[in-house]
């Protein structure tokens, strides 16, 4: 899910460097499971999750993450969240499903076209490749994982509460004008988003991508990686989740 004038007669004092001069340093915020903190860099392959229209994926921040990855991994798959972004567009822009999917696919294509050069700049160290969620969702394995996750969501109260809590926190910040009924509908849509996303992560883990990187937190996913929610697919339980933070400098 996506994250968040001066008077013409007054020259304001700058509070931060201009955008074109500002730089970011990528650091580790957390690793799940904690036991993998000293060893996750021993893996040669990883994937970086990309949330569209999220401020953490502005070019200057993407460059910082690409550089950080290039110093640690031989290969990195950049997972562009195009098709799943349709759910965000439906809940936050009130678009109808066909329109939201078209727009989400367009935004994913635009992200790759506009930012592929950033990753190309580090290809002497790391083999960066792109894959879109819309591609993974055509795989047979995706459908199986998605059904398994939905069954688990419906059967296990703790897993369901964790997934719904993540969506509730998000919409408590972004849906202030929504009625209670509309808020519940949006929370349900967020659950749909996470279950689709988790099924995609299962597919990538199955294809020997053991480390997931993301500039932010995935509370439920981190819980699974840490040993909670034992009924979740093994691919999620075995995934190493590395949460990154971007520090301006």
- Write down all domains in the chain, each with its CATH number in brackets: 24-248 (3.40.50.11710)
How high is the mean pLDDT in each 10-residue block of the chain (249 residues)?
35 42 90 97 98 96 98 98 96 88 98 98 98 98 98 98 88 70 87 97 98 93 96 98 94
Write down the pLDDT at residue 176: 64
User: Tens digit of pLDDT for each residue in 145-187?
Assistant: 999 999 999 999 999 999 999 888 877 766 667 788 888 888 8
Write down the pLDDT at residue 218: 83
Write down the pLDDT at residue 174: 62
Helix ranges, the chain (H): 59-70, 85-93, 97-120, 133-136, 140-155, 157-174, 180-206, 219-225, 234-237
SS3 6: coil
Asked if 232 and 50 count as a contact pair (C-beta separation under 8 A), the reply is no
Write down the pLDDT at residue 79: 98
Asked if 188 and 171 count as a contact pair (C-beta separation under 8 A), the reply is no
Write down the pLDDT at residue 236: 97
Write down the pLDDT at residue 118: 98
**Paired sense of beta strands 24-32 and 240-248, if any:** antiparallel
* Nearby residues of 22 by Cβ (< 8 Å), 6 or more positions away: 16, 60, 248, 249
């Amino acid at each position: 899910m996506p994250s968040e004038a001066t008077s013409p007669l007054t020259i304001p004092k700058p509070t931060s460097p201009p955008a074109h001069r500002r730089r970011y340093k990528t650091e580790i915020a957390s690793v799940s499971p904690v036991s993998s903190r000293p060893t996750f860099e021993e893996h040669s392959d990883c994937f970086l999750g990309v949330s569209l229209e999220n401020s953490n994926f502005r070019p200057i921040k993407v460059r910082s993450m690409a550089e950080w990855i290039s110093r640690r991994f031989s290969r990195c798959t950049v997972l562009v969240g195009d098709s799943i972004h349709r759910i965000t567009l439906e809940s936050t822009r009130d678009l109808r499903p066909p329109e939201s999917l078209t727009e989400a696919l367009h935004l994913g294509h635009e992200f790759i076209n506009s930012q592929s050069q950033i990753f190309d700049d580090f290809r002497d160290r790391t083999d960066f490749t792109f894959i879109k969620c819309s591609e993974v969702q055509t795989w047979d394995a995706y459908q199986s994982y998605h059904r398994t996750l939905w069954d688990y969501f419906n059967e296990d109260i703790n897993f369901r509460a964790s997934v719904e809590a993540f969506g509730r926190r998000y919409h408590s910040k972004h849906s202030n004008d929504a009625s209670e009924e509309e808020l519940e509908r949006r929370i349900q849509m967020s659950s749909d988003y996470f279950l689709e996303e988790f099924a995609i992560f299962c597919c990538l883990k199955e294809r020997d991508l053991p480390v997931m990187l993301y500039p932010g937190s995935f509370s439920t996913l981190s819980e699974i990686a840490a040993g909670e929610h034992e009924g979740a697919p093994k691919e999620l339980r075995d995934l190493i989740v590395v949460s990154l933070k971007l520090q301006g400098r």
